[in-house]
Structure 1
């Protein structure tokens, strides 16, 4: 007999694990296929600094994950945007919008440990680890079956709904024959922890430049999280720099608004690419998170977008169960999911891609236009509301858990977000 589940999630990273926790609240039989063995975190839980929008903080708080964080988080009370070589800057203040903060900075490793602690509390969850997804298996119309392998060989798992949460190079997406469009921004992100002469004061900086953004994020340990973008042609040379050389380069790209940079930790490298699945659903299958869309990290939208994928799916399944229909993979449910996610996905991808291209364009004609845009964002409430709404995770139809409410009508922030 094949092992069967209501929902089978392939991928135990940030989005997949969060979805498993959300579905467990509904009393469902959930399986989670994970590549990492017990006692080990997936590679995604490294020293990267995750910027959690308010909507993400709301959802993870409701799921009991934030309470499991052992390390302090950093509060984002203002956002400072500027571009090297251009006039003007835009400053967004949370207090102006009746908020104490726009969101929080969490180290990916700390978040992974919190997710693991929360997953360990779920008695119904069936975890398959370390297990590797091999491919699809034959199944009848009421089930989606997959083949997985571990040290003992191959086996078949099946579910009413298969969820691909296995990242940018999703094997499930490929097996489902869902194509993806890819764009290489020609940039590599250097990520590290940075110590400055002044401790963070709640300001998240986005300093744009011809090679991409250099972001400085206020961590909770009195350090900054640095994300420094480097053009592909210069990656090897920058990677070869010693600590002092790298700090000098980051200081030159960022400037002196946060004072002098003094020291940094180990550096990790990540390519800046955009990978968009041409559709997000298939028969009894759905893509979430980076398997559905991997976007440029400018504005820190990626994980927040993926979590809204997961929370929307969980919400629609909850509504389906409330009507007495227990089939989590029904065609009509997946159609509603695709419709619900379309607006948020399209707007967020368009914002990320447009901002990345516009910021890196170093032509003389673009400089006055960008400066005018920064001036408008800094002075016009309507322009600020658009940015703030997106930064806080309020785009499209926002899931109830992301709104900080157990239910209720969808709202937008500052009008149309």
Structure 2
């Protein structure tokens, strides 16, 4: 196990062992950079597969990056390719369609149970040679020192003190690291709640993913193995309790009414509960010898499934910069990181926020303009290419790790 390696003073300390934090730790290890990973969750043996599990939509760029750091071989057997994407709005004539073959790729992205990605990351973490893992452990204090930070960590075997030249906050939406750095956030409550579950349609989705907008919010179906789909349903927040109380038949009927009949009858919805949808964006990404990644930097609306994909590009960009630096916490490096991430981060946040505001706005006068915009993305080759590249996760200056199969 990795815990036999001492935490090197002057190294990198990653706070948060979720999907993004673990990916960063692996990317640094692959680049030959020692790091310490603090994870609040204890290591877990692989759980049995379940019908009721959260599913991720991984952009093509994300899968390229996971291949580059050696994670994808552990995850690929349970992944399902997305070969087509269909976007429309209920009651309006326009739609936009993406076809992998049209863009000379085998898939636009892949779907994968979140549990499977977590298990793949855990297996790859076990292969790391330069990584110190502390789990379960929590960061209880963070103090600036000359040339870095002193971190107090509480673990099962007691309290210990670590020193690091760079602290990475990968500790989620309510980040302790971000708060300790004094970085403010901008919050927006969408007035919506999200339900996620697995559902079985009458007809095989056959690699097709769907996103449909309405006055009540977006609904998405993602293709999975065994003719199943991942269902993502948003409802107005004031309806969340009533929707949560629906039995399976009534919930399937609601999903049917919102999605339509493109895949026939929807049945067997899995367990679900509501999650309030809010955008939380840090006003800056860096502090003195510290940086934020993933949800600690930005928690976005789940429309378009951008959250993990954006966070992984954070992690891979940071690993790329640190791998070539003598001092991982140098101000110039962190300035470069913020500049590199700005176009992707700002573009993705603007897209997700603007799309949900425009596409779900109950304004009949906007209907023809929305439809014409979707038709333009469907029919105008430069717009279609731009939509496809961004949908596949290629925006701004991507990390080199994702560019292997850039179309």
Given that 1:50 and 1:105 are in contact with CA atoms closer than 8 Å, whether structure 2 keeps it comes out as: yes
Are 1:265 and 2:266 matched, yes or no? no
Matching residue of 1:157: 162
Distance in 2 between the 1:262 and 1:38 partners?
A: 35
Does residue 333 (structure 1) correspond to residue 333 (structure 2)? The answer is yes
Residue 371 of structure 1 is matched in structure 2 by: 371
TM-score (norm 2): 0.94
The yes-or-no answer on 1:57 pairing with 2:57 is no
Aligned residue number for residue 3 of structure 2: none
Q: Residue 355 in 1 paired to residue 355 in 2?
A: yes
Partner of 1:408: none
1:99 equivalent to 2:105? Answer yes
Conserved? CA contact 1:305–1:345, under 8 Å: yes
Does residue 255 of structure 2 align to residue 218 of structure 1?
A: no
Name 2:398's counterpart in structure 1.
398
Report the CA distance between 1:70 and its aligned residue: 6.8
* RMSD (CA atoms): 1.9
Counterpart of 1:323 in structure 2 is none
**Structure 2 equivalent of residue 89 of structure 1:** 95
2:364 partner SS? coil
**2:209 corresponds to 1:204:** yes
1:39 aligns with 2:44: yes
* Cα distance, 1:40–1:295 mapped onto 2, change above 3 Å: farther
Instruction: Report the alpha carbon displacement of residue 234 of structure 1 after superposing the two structures with TM.
Output: 0.2
Q: 1:373 Cα shift?
A: 1.1
For residues 98 and 313 of structure 1, do their structure 2 counterparts lie closer, same or farther at Cα, with a shift above 3 Å needed? Answer: same
Q: Deviations over 1:314-342 (max 9, x none)?
A: 1111232xxxxx21111111111111111
Deviation at 1:148, TM superposition (A): 2.0
Aligned residues: 399
Matched with 2:282 is 277
Post-superposition CA distance 1:200-248 (Å, at most 9, x none): 2111100111121100000134210000001101000000000001000
> Is the CA contact 1:79–1:203 (under 8 Å) kept in the aligned structure 2?
yes
**Residues in 2 aligned to 1:197 and 1:181: alpha-carbon distance in whole angstroms:** 42
3-state DSSP of counterpart to 2:160: strand
Match of 1:344 in 2: 344
Q: Is the 1:251–1:260 contact (alpha carbons within 8 Å) kept by the matching residues of 2?
A: yes
TM-score by length of 1: 0.92
Cα distance change, pair 205–307 in 1 and its aligned pair in 2 (3 A):
same
Q: Which aligned pairs between 1:14-33 and structure 2 lie closer than 5 A?
A: 14-33=19-38
How far off is 1:41 after superposition?
A: 8.5
Moved over 4 A (4+): none
Summarize deviations over 1:236-261 as a string: whole Å, max 9, x none. 00000000010000000000111110
Residue-by-residue CA offset, 1:261-294 (whole Å, 9 max, x unaligned):
0212111432211111000001110000110011
Aligned to 1:179: 184
CA offsets per residue over residues 342-396 of structure 1, 9 Å max, x none?
A: 1111111111111011111011121121111111111111221221111111100
Tell me the distance in 2 between the aligned counterparts of 1:383 and 1:135.
49
For residues 86 and 310 of structure 1, the distance between their equivalents in structure 2, rounded to whole angstroms, comes to: 39
- In the aligned structure 2, how far is the partner of 1:34 from the partner of 1:70? 25
- Structure 1 counterpart of 2:236: 231
Task: Indicate the SS of the match to 1:4.
Answer: coil
Aligned twin of 2:384: 384
Higher share of residues assigned helix: 2
Distance 1:146 1:36 in 2: 18
Q: Any conservation in 2 of the 1:143–1:161 contact (CA below 8 Å)?
A: yes
**Runs of 5+ consecutive residues of structure 2 not aligned to the other structure:** 1-5
> Per-residue deviation at 1:20?
0.4
Aligned to 2:135: 129
> Using the alignment, how far apart are the partners of 2:226 and 2:330 within structure 1?
46
How far did residue 155 of structure 1 move? Answer: 2.7
Deviation at 1:2, TM superposition (A): 8.3
Q: What's 1:119 paired with?
A: 125
Distance 1:137 1:354 in 2: 39
CA 1:221–1:30: 2 relative to 1, 3 Å? farther
Gaps of 5+ in 1: 321-325, 406-410
* Separation (CA, whole Å) in 1 of partners of 2:127 and 2:166: 23
Does structure 2 conserve the Cα–Cα contact (< 8 Å) formed by 1:70 and 1:110?
no
1:88-146 CA-to-partner distances (Å, cap 9, x unmatched) read 21111111111111010011011001100110111321111111122312421x12222
Quick one: distance in 2 between partners of 1:208 and 1:360?
A: 6
Specify the SS of the correspondent of 2:17: coil
